[in-house]
Amino acid sequence: MMRVAVFASGNGSNFQAIVNAVKEGRLDVSVELLVCDKPKAYVVERAQAAGVPVLAFRPKEYASREEYERMILAELQARGIELIVLAGYMRIITSVLVEPYYGRMINIHPSLLPSFPGVDAIGQALAHGVKVTGVTVHFVDGGMDSGPIIAQQALDIQVDDSKDTLATRIQEVEHELYVKVIGMISAGRIKLEPDGLRVTVK
């Protein structure tokens, strides 16, 4: 069974969706760790309620990103983590984690990348007046939402959508798509090719 660590910074709805899918038998992985850069975030309470160990830290207590990532890496390796799942983790990832986990670290983003990378993707989509947005799951390469795309799902923007209503509908898509992709990875159906650019889906 694939050993997974989830990284999150806030409410943790995607973390909860993953944990629920495991509990209900829809996802055959073991969630071994939550990594959180905000010890008071609600996702920490979710993890504790689910019996998932928590590694919570305060970035300001470290001299650099690389320093706290070395601490995280040691914990991941000690627990035999095979897949890192970024689920609303609001920190840039450096090569300290990207290099040892390249092809084994994924992220979910609330737009159809490469459109609207970075923060406030939903607000960006509404401001640009696009009619279709969606959700992207991609491998992490250290850039800003720039890694090889694994899966996407489109979502029509309604005439009366506000940022909140659109965010709610996007989250529903995220919860389903992320669980599906994680399951496919654990089953060996998704692979990053040796060139580090192409994704094969079986």
According to DSSP H, which parts of 92-136 are helical?
A: 95-101, 121-128
Annotated active-site residue 175? The verdict is no
Class of residue 124 by CB neighbours under 10 A (exposed 0-12, middle 13-18, buried 19+): middle
Angle at 73 between CA 71 and CA 77, to 5 degrees: 125
Q: Name every residue whose Cβ is closer than 8 Å to that of residue 13 and which is 6 or more positions away in sequence.
A: 88, 171, 174, 175
Looking at residue 198, its pLDDT comes to: 83
The confidence band for 195, taking pLDDT boundaries of 50, 70 and 90, is confident
148 DSSP 8-state letter: P
CA 108 to chain centre: 5
- The one catalytic residue among 109, 128, 138, 175: 109
The confidence band for 196, taking pLDDT boundaries of 50, 70 and 90, is confident
Q: Report, as an integer, the average pLDDT of 86-103.
A: 95
Higher pLDDT: 51 or 119? It is 51
Q: What CATH number is given for 107-202 in this structure?
A: 3.40.50.170
Q: Are strands 54-56 and 83-86 parallel, antiparallel or unpaired?
A: unpaired
> What amino acid occupies position 67?
E
Q: Where in the chain is the domain with CATH 3.40.50.170?
A: 1-101, 107-202
What is the C-alpha separation between 150 and 101, in angstroms, rounded?
A: 16
Angle at 199 between CA 196 and CA 202, to 5 degrees: 145
Q: Report, as an integer, the average pLDDT of 4-25.
A: 97
Q: What CATH number is given for 1-101 in this structure?
A: 3.40.50.170
Q: Report, as an integer, the average pLDDT of 9-19.
A: 97
